Structure 1
Amino acid sequence: MEDMDFEALQQLTVSFGLGLLLGLERERSESSIAGIRTFPFISLFGTICAQVGMLTSAWLIAAGMLAVVAIVIFANYAKLKNGSDDVGTTTEFAAMLLYAVGALIVVGSLEIALVVGGVMALLLHLKAPMHRMVTAMGEHDMRAMMQFVLISMIILPVLPNETYGPYDVWNPFKIWLMVVFIVGISLSGYVVYKVFGARAGTFLGGIIGGLVSSTATTVSYARRCAAEASLAPLGAFVVMTASCISLVRVLVEIAVVAPHTFPTLAMPLGIMLGWCMLLALWLYLRSRSNGQQMPEQKNPAELKSAIFFGALYALVLLGVAAAKDHFGEAGLYVISCISGLTDMDAITLSTAQLAGNGGIPTRLAWHAILLAAMSNFIFKFATVAVLGSRELVWRVGVAFGLALAGGSTLLILWPW
Structure 2
Amino acid sequence: MPNLELFQTLAISLGLGLLVGLQRQHQNARIAGIRTFPIITVFGTVCAWLAQDFGGWMLAAGAVGTAAIVVVANLLQRTEKHIDVGQTTEAALLLMFAVGAYLVVGNTPVAVAIGASIAVLLHLKETLHKAIAKLGEEDLRAIMQFVVISLVILPVLPNRTFGPYNVLNPYNIWLMVVLIVGIGLAGYFAYKIFGGKAGTLLGGVLGGLISSTATTVSYAKRSKDTDQQKASNNLIALVILIASAVSVLRIVIEVSVVAPATLGKVAPPLICLLLLMAILIGLGFFIKKEGAGQMPEQQNPAQLKTALVFGAIYAIVILATAAAKDHFGESGLYIVAVISGLTDVDAITLSTSRLMNNRTIDLDTGWRVILVAALSNIAFKGGMVAILGSRALFGRVALLFGVSLVAGALIVWLWPEGFVLDWFGKG
Q: TM-score, normalised by structure 1?
A: 0.93
Contact residue 218 and residue 380 of structure 1 kept, 8 A: yes
Q: Show the 5 A alignment for 1:92-131.
A: 92-131=90-129
| Alpha-carbon distance in structure 2 between the residues aligned to 1:26 and 1:290 | 45
Aligned to 1:124, what secondary structure does the other structure show?
helix
Taking structure 1 as reference, are residues 10 and 333 closer, same or farther at Cα in structure 2, changes over 3 Å only? same
Taking structure 1 as reference, are residues 16 and 239 closer, same or farther at Cα in structure 2, changes over 3 Å only? farther
Quick check: 346-355 or 65-74, which moved more?
65-74
1:413 matched residue in structure 2: 414
| Alpha-carbon distance in structure 1 between the residues aligned to 2:125 and 2:325 | 52
Q: Show the 5 A alignment for 1:74-153.
A: 74-153=72-151
Q: Displacement, 1:157? A: 1.5
Structure 2's unaligned 5+ residue stretches are 418-427
2:48 matched residue in structure 1: 50
Contact residue 231 and residue 292 of structure 2 kept, 8 A: no
Taking structure 1 as reference, are residues 154 and 230 closer, same or farther at Cα in structure 2, changes over 3 Å only? closer
1:296 matched residue in structure 2: 297
1:273 matched residue in structure 2: 274
Q: Displacement, 1:137? A: 2.0
1:387 matched residue in structure 2: 388
Q: Displacement, 1:289? A: 5.3
Quick check: 68-77 or 326-335, which moved more?
68-77
| Alpha-carbon distance in structure 2 between the residues aligned to 1:312 and 1:59 | 55
Taking structure 1 as reference, are residues 276 and 126 closer, same or farther at Cα in structure 2, changes over 3 Å only? farther
For residues 133-187 of structure 1, give each alpha carbon's deviation from its aligned partner in whole angstroms, at most 9, with x where no partner exists.
3222222222222221221122112211111111111011111111111111111
1:396 matched residue in structure 2: 397
For residues 188-222 of structure 1, give each alpha carbon's deviation from its aligned partner in whole angstroms, at most 9, with x where no partner exists.
11122223331333322222211111111111111
2:170 matched residue in structure 1: 172
Q: Which amino acid aligns with 2:308?
A: I
| Structure 1 residue ranges (4+ consecutive) displaced by more than 4 angstroms after TM superposition | 288-291
| Alpha-carbon distance in structure 1 between the residues aligned to 2:393 and 2:144 | 38
1:263 aligns with 2:264: yes
Q: Which amino acid aligns with 1:86?
A: D
Contact residue 230 and residue 293 of structure 2 kept, 8 A: no
Q: Displacement, 1:377? A: 0.8
2:365 matched residue in structure 1: 364
For residues 242-284 of structure 1, give each alpha carbon's deviation from its aligned partner in whole angstroms, at most 9, with x where no partner exists.
2122122211111111122122111211222222222222222
Aligned to 2:344, what secondary structure does the other structure show?
coil
Equivalent pairs counted in the alignment come to: 414
| Alpha-carbon distance in structure 2 between the residues aligned to 1:101 and 1:409 | 56
| Alpha-carbon distance in structure 2 between the residues aligned to 1:107 and 1:394 | 66
Contact residue 46 and residue 103 of structure 1 kept, 8 A: yes
1:219 aligns with 2:217: yes
| Alpha-carbon distance in structure 1 between the residues aligned to 2:26 and 2:372 | 52
For residues 25-81 of structure 1, give each alpha carbon's deviation from its aligned partner in whole angstroms, at most 9, with x where no partner exists.
334434333333433222222112212222223222222222222222333333442
Q: Displacement, 1:352? A: 0.6
Contact residue 132 and residue 195 of structure 1 kept, 8 A: no
Contact residue 169 and residue 317 of structure 1 kept, 8 A: yes
Taking structure 1 as reference, are residues 28 and 264 closer, same or farther at Cα in structure 2, changes over 3 Å only? farther
Quick check: 29-38 or 138-147, which moved more?
29-38
| Alpha-carbon distance in structure 2 between the residues aligned to 1:402 and 1:319 | 30
1:22 aligns with 2:20: yes
Q: Displacement, 1:288? A: 4.7
Q: Displacement, 1:93? A: 1.0
| Alpha-carbon distance in structure 2 between the residues aligned to 1:270 and 1:404 | 14
Q: Which amino acid aligns with 2:410?
A: T
| Alpha-carbon distance in structure 2 between the residues aligned to 1:404 and 1:129 | 43
Q: TM-score, normalised by structure 2?
A: 0.91
2:425 matched residue in structure 1: none
Q: CA RMSD in A?
A: 2.0
